[in-house]
Amino acid sequence: MSSATTALIPELRTPVADAGTGYVKTGTAVPRVDGRDKVTGAARYAAEISADDLLHGVVVNSTVTRGRIVSFDTSAAMAQPGVVDVITYLNRPKMRSYDLFYKDMTAPAGAPFRPLYDEQIVSNGQPVALVVAGTFEAARHAAALVKVRYEITPHETGLLNYLSRPHKPQGLKAGFTPPPDEKGNAARAWQDADCKIDAQYFSGVEHHNPMELFASTVIRAADGHLTIYDKTQSSQNSRWYVSRVFGLSKAEVTVRNPYVGGAFGAGLRPQYQLPLAVMAAIKLRRSVRVVMTRQQMFTFGHRPETWQRVKLAASRDGVLRSIAHEAVAETSRFEDYVEVVVNWSGQLYACEHIRLAYQLVDLDQFTPMDMRAPGAAHGVHALEVAMDELSYEVGMDPLAFRLKNYAEINPVDGLPYSTKELRACYAQGAERFGWSRRPLAPRSRREGTEWVGWGMATGIWDAMQMFARASAVLHADGRLVVSSAATDIGTGTYTVMATIAAEELGLPLEHVAFQLGDSTLPVAPVEGGSSHVATVGSAVQGACEKLKKNLFKLARQLPDTPFDNARFADVEFAEGRIRLRREHGTGMALVELLKAAEVTRIEEKYLLLPNMLKQRKYTRAVHSAVFCEVRVDEEFGTVRVTRVVSAVAAGRIINTRTAASQVSGAVVWGISQALHEETHMDHALGRFMNHNLSEYHVAVNADIHDIDVLFVQEDDRIVSRLGAKGVGEIGIVGVAAAISNAIYHATGKRVRSTPMTPDKVM
């Protein structure tokens, strides 16, 4: 990128900390720099950006599940006042025809869905037309008047209906590792063991429901350049996709996402409103916005239904003898969506015999999609409920049973962990919760009409680092602008990155702007996998360190320099100054230094590449221990989760406030997964029926009681130069299992499918 792009881009309105914030340190609780903009509405999201003569597009969705479009009748829609066009596969602008060009950067193996490409219908709710009008209301009304005739082909939906025809996933996807080969002989060890369980688990479909709806506003300049405000977890991924699909050069398309109102994985891939809005902008040579309705948010991607079977065996003294974990998940007919479901079952506990398997079933539906802690949210759930079941067979406390089988090295490949403070999570979490006062027997505590139970589970998530670039520019007035095409989906990226840079250069936080959310900025990965801090944070720190070295060089070249005989290691950057460590307080202000050196700006760039040679020698993971209390109503089977303690080991915590928010938010979702969330399909229609927030239940305030998050000390310089691993997804892993285990402890009834609704708990 040219240096011009790393100046502040005014349209992004990059948030900066309030004046007077002063010097802050990583590892402390720094309030969000974008907090005020978000709560006052100053932060603008993809659907809130406007343009002169903006047109509005509303999507028409297929009402059938499989087949082909025979004909459209758009006459009634076109006759409505304000309607400009009804775009279908018959009259859309030219698109490239090979799947290769359609792929976004995070596409799984297969041929991606191509919106308005041809007459084929591959899933219920697939977009079949875009009605474009002068107002959203006119477009929405007209969309209801579009008539589509279909030729219907019988469809197949429902994982449990087709469990008998699983196949191995084909192809690779970033972040996916197939299960390892069998270690030892799990079946024989299970057969020979004294204590054993064999249980099946099922988790229903969940849909992402971020507050912000998916939306794209395409602003077309007179020369045809497109500036697209898109709801996405990567502006560069959307830019790449639009360029490839429509054959536009990088210079012809800019994608921006300075604010994203939650995404949880749904923004890892471009959603169909993006190509549809671009199609209309190209065809009509106008600026166009397409916003999905909440119902349409249920027409693309979801956490896949997953069936699992876990067989565990132990000797009478509680030593694990065998782990067998198999999973079958659903995918679409056109892509093999894969996630890591079973692998962690070979990583958490010491065991000689481990067999892991993972397969897919193709169904007539949209391809599933990553959702917060994809794979782990249900894979580790099954393992951790199974571990609880086995602990009762052995007659041990569930925590003591886990500690007895604690893995000091990765049991599958023998690699050491880069860091693993899981023991501290167990100890500190148990202490905070008061676990030692737990009676062993289920159904032993009753208060009023409620049975009270305590349960726990382990959480694990990969500690990933990807590659990224960052640039850092120090201006003559002492202000620092750090840039990378990162994303802040509500996680705190603005704040964390600015804090890392401010601390590195010893500047007050309000003098540092971290600019993200624009595809022309230095390359950054999708904000996914809880890897942004380890990745972008390390690039930011690297760029700032190079800047410091440069400033030091400048300082040494000044006449009468106090740094004459100093080496870089002898100086520190603090309180806006460069100074000798020894003489604490002498030195010079960075502003004076730039002035004396007659420099108006100084810029450095850094490319962060993970040190794979070093990292590959270790198993890299984030861990947690989750403890919870449930109260189950004896007559209604309703469950209240009255207390949760989540103890997390995630390397150095850069911002204890935003990190704790990540974990407590994820615990809320864990409670929601455990008790509420499930999208029900009518298999006769092949359609999700409860596609709205009144019938798709998410946890609300009344469902949430005490949540206590604690971070144990950990510092991992193998995962990142910052010592940080990553926080976010780990917060949900194990929560539903701890709740399931607590329900068993409360009632003596084991519930093996999620959500654990009253009908199952009764």
- Contact region with ligand MOS (CB under 6 A), list: 106-114, 260-268, 505-513, 639-647: 260-268
- Contact region with ligand MOS (CB under 6 A), list: 78-86, 367-375, 517-525, 552-560: 367-375
Residues designated catalytic: 729
Nearer of residues 376 and 551 to ligand MOS, judged by Cβ: 376
In this chain, which of 32, 372, 402, 631 binds ligand MOS, going by CB under 6 A? 372
At closest approach, how far in Å is the CB of 268 from ligand MOS? 5
Rounding to the nearest 10 degrees, give the CA dihedral for residues 481, 484, 488, 492. Answer: -50
632-661 mask for ligand MOS (x: CB under 6 A)? Answer: ------------------------------
Q: Which of 517, 515, 538 is nearest to 526 (CA)?
A: 517
Question: What angle do the packed helices 656-675 and 735-747 form, to 10 degrees?
Answer: 50
In angstroms, the CA 269 to CA 107 distance is 7
- Contact region with ligand MOS (CB under 6 A), list: 179-187, 262-270, 630-638, 656-664: 262-270
Residue 528 interacts with ligand MOS (CB under 6 A): yes or no: yes
- Contact region with ligand MOS (CB under 6 A), list: 79-87, 240-248, 370-378, 602-610: 370-378
Minimal CB distance to ligand MOS: which residue? 265
For CA atoms 184, 189, 191, 197, the dihedral sign is negative
Residue 169 interacts with ligand MOS (CB under 6 A): yes or no: no
Buried (b) or exposed (e) across 283-304, using 16+ Cβ within 10 A? bbebbbbbbbbeebbbbbbbbb
Residue 726 interacts with ligand MOS (CB under 6 A): yes or no: no
Written as six digits, the tokens of 404 are 């007895």
- Contact region with ligand MOS (CB under 6 A), list: 113-121, 364-372, 441-449, 551-559: 364-372
| 104 C-beta neighbours (distance < 10 Å), count | 20
Residues 6+ apart with CB under 8 A from 271: 214, 231, 292, 300, 301
| 2 C-beta neighbours (distance < 10 Å), count | 6
Beta strands 147-152 and 67-73 are antiparallel
Contact status, residue 471 vs residue 584, Cβ threshold 8 Å? no
At closest approach, how far in Å is the CB of 241 from ligand MOS? 17
| 177 C-beta neighbours (distance < 10 Å), count | 11
Residue 370 interacts with ligand MOS (CB under 6 A): yes or no: yes
- Contact region with ligand MOS (CB under 6 A), list: 52-60, 313-321, 371-379, 632-640: 371-379
DSSP string, 564-615: TT--GGGEEEETTEEEESTTBTBSEEHHHHHHHTT-SEEEEEEEE---HHHH
In this chain, which of 54, 122, 213, 268 binds ligand MOS, going by CB under 6 A? 268
Q: Which of 59, 64, 45 is nearest to 119 (CA)?
A: 64
At closest approach, how far in Å is the CB of 527 from ligand MOS? 7
At closest approach, how far in Å is the CB of 337 from ligand MOS? 12
Residue 677 interacts with ligand MOS (CB under 6 A): yes or no: no
Residue 265 interacts with ligand MOS (CB under 6 A): yes or no: yes
At closest approach, how far in Å is the CB of 371 from ligand MOS? 6
Nearer of residues 372 and 381 to ligand MOS, judged by Cβ: 372
Contact status, residue 757 vs residue 690, Cβ threshold 8 Å? no
Residue 529 interacts with ligand MOS (CB under 6 A): yes or no: yes
Residue 506 CA, distance from chain mean position: 31
Nearer of residues 264 and 451 to ligand MOS, judged by Cβ: 264
Contact status, residue 340 vs residue 176, Cβ threshold 8 Å? yes
At closest approach, how far in Å is the CB of 158 from ligand MOS? 24
At closest approach, how far in Å is the CB of 63 from ligand MOS? 30
Nearer of residues 169 and 411 to ligand MOS, judged by Cβ: 169
Residue 371 interacts with ligand MOS (CB under 6 A): yes or no: yes
Nearer of residues 472 and 727 to ligand MOS, judged by Cβ: 727
Angle at 601 between CA 603 and CA 514, to 5 degrees: 60
Residue 282 interacts with ligand MOS (CB under 6 A): yes or no: no
At closest approach, how far in Å is the CB of 374 from ligand MOS? 5
Residue 374 interacts with ligand MOS (CB under 6 A): yes or no: yes
Residues 6+ apart with CB under 8 A from 94: 247
In the chain the first and final C-alpha atoms are separated, in Å, by: 61
| 745 C-beta neighbours (distance < 10 Å), count | 28
Nearer of residues 265 and 610 to ligand MOS, judged by Cβ: 265
Residue 665 interacts with ligand MOS (CB under 6 A): yes or no: no
In angstroms, the CA 667 to CA 292 distance is 28
Q: Where are the beta strands (DSSP E) in 479-570?
A: 480-483, 512-515
Nearer of residues 282 and 666 to ligand MOS, judged by Cβ: 666
At closest approach, how far in Å is the CB of 487 from ligand MOS? 10
Residue 304 interacts with ligand MOS (CB under 6 A): yes or no: no
> Which residues, 221 to 250, sit near ligand MOS by CB under 6 A?
233
Beta strands 215-220 and 109-110 are unpaired
At closest approach, how far in Å is the CB of 262 from ligand MOS? 10
Interface positions with ligand MOS (CB under 6 A): 233, 264-265, 268, 370-372, 374, 528-529
